[in-house]
Amino acid sequence: MKRILVSGGAGFIGSHLCTRLVSEGHEVICLDNFFTGSKQNIAHLMDNRLFEVVRHDITYPYSVEVDEIYNLACPASPIHYQHDAIQTIKTSVMGAINLLGLANRLNAKILQASTSEIYGDPIVHPQPESYWGNVNPIGVRSCYDEGKRCAETLFMDYHRQNEVRIKIIRIFNTYGPRMQPNDGRVVSNFVIQALQDKDITIYGTGDQTRSFQYIDDLVDGMIRMMDTEDEFIGPVNIGNPTEFSIRELAEKIIKKTGSKSKIVFEPLPHDDPKQRQPDITLARQKLGWEPTTQLDEGIDRMIAYFKETLNL
């Protein structure tokens, strides 16, 4: 049994990670300021003796005795991370400094949940970990993109200078139960709009592509990465390499829900990437990992989840 700290543990991804770690018999401390996290996401864990929740903002130092740290704290949807851009970048940068300092003092292993957004609007496709990205450092998305890029820099420098035991993963588009219905992310948006027979909004032409991975696959990849030998630090892409256009996704969801929704088009947001697809060769080689949940199966689960939770 390990004692594990999960920052951002009440969020969409963090709550699934906490659930998995507790189910494996580990003692888990969930750290969250509940800006985008929700107590409802972790309600099923509250009576478990292995689980503890602490309200805390990781832009301020936190001290606890743990064996491992998963750093997931940061708003991840454009609506939320652009709401307070300064706080977003502080969460990525100051949060990384505070948790790396803790890991250094404890000799704990620490994993950074980075993002495919560090590749920006890529001119290399699909994106391997060796690609440095094409990011606008002064755009409206840069508080998130550059914050995550700086966090990776901090992780590498703490590793090189202080020999902190680090792991870095780059998460591609992920969906699943416990996504917030109003966070503006494409899968949840489309499913809710379709279930309500509302127009489905596509930004741009709909020809831009994404690769969608189900939450269970991501959590499996995260834990596999944490469990690798200290010599392997990453970064590693964790995502589904199967590519779909946004229009294809909308049409698939309309068909599955039997919706009367029509597709409407709006201008593409500033700096929105045209394509995004992970090269997961390294994850296959080093982690023995690849996603197993197909998009059709995952969407069916999302439809059932929102029907139940939103009474749609």
Q: By percentage, how much of the chain surpasses pLDDT 70?
A: 99
How much is the pTM? 0.94
Structural domain of residue 101, as residue ranges? 3-179+213-241+276-293
Q: Give, in order, the Cα–Cα distances in Å from 125 to each of 93, 170, 209.
A: 28, 15, 11
Is 108 inside any structural domain?
yes
pLDDT, tens digit, for every residue of 175-231?
A: 999 998 877 788 999 999 999 999 998 988 888 888 999 999 999 999 999 999 999
Is 112 inside any structural domain?
yes
Q: By percentage, how much of the chain surpasses pLDDT 90?
A: 84
Is 258 inside any structural domain?
no
Q: For residue 90, what are its two tokens?
A: 């502080």
Mean pLDDT value of segment 110-127: 94
DSSP state of 60: S
Mean pLDDT value of segment 112-127: 94
Pairing of strands 165-171, 174-175: unpaired
Mean pLDDT value of segment 255-279: 87
Provide DSSP, 70-121: EE--S--SHHHHTTTHHHHHHHHHHHHHHHHHHHHHHT-EEEEEEEGGGGBS
Q: What is the model's pLDDT at position 203?
A: 86
Domain CATH number, residue 146: 3.40.50.720
Q: What is the model's pLDDT at position 119?
A: 95
Q: Which position has the higher pLDDT, 201 or 3?
A: 3
Mean pLDDT value of segment 107-117: 97
Which class for 163: exposed (0-12), middle (13-18), buried (19 or more C-beta within 10 A)? exposed
Mean pLDDT value of segment 96-104: 98
Is 249 inside any structural domain?
no
Q: Is the pLDDT of residue 271 over 70?
A: no
Q: Is the pLDDT of residue 141 over 70?
A: yes
d(CA 115, CA 144): 9
Mean of the per-residue pLDDT values of the chain: 94
Is 103 inside any structural domain?
yes
Report how many domains make up the chain.
1
Report the 10 Å Cβ neighbour count for 297: 11
Q: Is the pLDDT of residue 101 over 70?
A: yes
Catalytic residue at 214?
no
Is 83 inside any structural domain?
yes
- Residue whose entry in the numeric block shows the structure tokens 């939770």: 309
Is 144 inside any structural domain?
yes
d(CA 268, CA 203): 5
CA atoms lying within 13 Å on the CB side of residue 110: 30
Q: Which of 70, 81, 119, 144 is catalytic?
A: 144
pLDDT, tens digit, for every residue of 4-17?
A: 999 999 999 999 99
Is 111 inside any structural domain?
yes
Mean pLDDT value of segment 138-161: 95
Q: Give, in order, the Cα–Cα distances in Å from 262 to each of 193, 253, 259.
A: 10, 12, 9
